[in-house]
Chain A
Amino acid sequence: MKIARVIGRVVLSKKDGNLPDGFLLIASPLCRSEIVSGKCAGSGVSSEQPNLVVFDALGARQGDLISYVEGAEATAPFDSPAAVDAYNVGIVDFYNYNRNL
């Protein structure tokens, strides 16, 4: 599970039957320096990692911090096989980074 910032949304007019119903968010993963400094990428895209589209069933808004999971575990919450690569596990309220560890 990694932390990312929601920077946009994707709306599909037509979709594959295997894609379950829900929101699709554009998320920009936070690199370590952003998490450490707490100065997360509010608006722009500053981390080196590419943005990704995350399936979301919780209703995260733009600017929220979410924690997403990739791979086979992204399809675990669905009963039927789902064409989902990244799943939004939860909306992060806050996190503590202990600097002197």
Chain B
Amino acid sequence: MLKQEMQIAKIVGNMVMTHAHSSVSGNALFLCQPIDENGAECGGIIVAISPFGGGVGSRVLISTDGSAAREYVGDKHSPIRNSAICVLDD
């Protein structure tokens, strides 16, 4: 079953796709590793966009809501699903 909840994740890298869906161009793609409350890695690596300034090394909250991601991208036909909706302070 697809996970439908928000996850705390740390951004561990980025990804480059030149040949992709038109809505992906102009958005940075980050590899996010979901972590649990004491920082241990749990789950597989998810690729997400980060419209709010989260960079490599920052801890973010990953949401799996596609409609929010389509709004950030500005294309209602965009297949992007995960987006880093906020950057955690601590």
Contacts and interface: CB of A to CB of B under 8 A. Distances in A.
Interface residues of A, number: 32
A70 B45 contact: no
Helix, strand, loop or mixed for chain A's interface? Answer: mixed
Give the interface residue-count category, chain B: 35 or more
A22 to B, nearest CB: 12
A1 B82 contact: yes
Interface in B39-90: 41, 44-48, 56-57, 66, 69-70, 76-82
B13 A95 contact: yes
Contacts of B11: 101
A92 B17 contact: yes
Given A1-B82, A70-B81, A89-B17, 5 more contacts: A32-B44, A58-B20, A71-B81, A95-B16, A101-B10
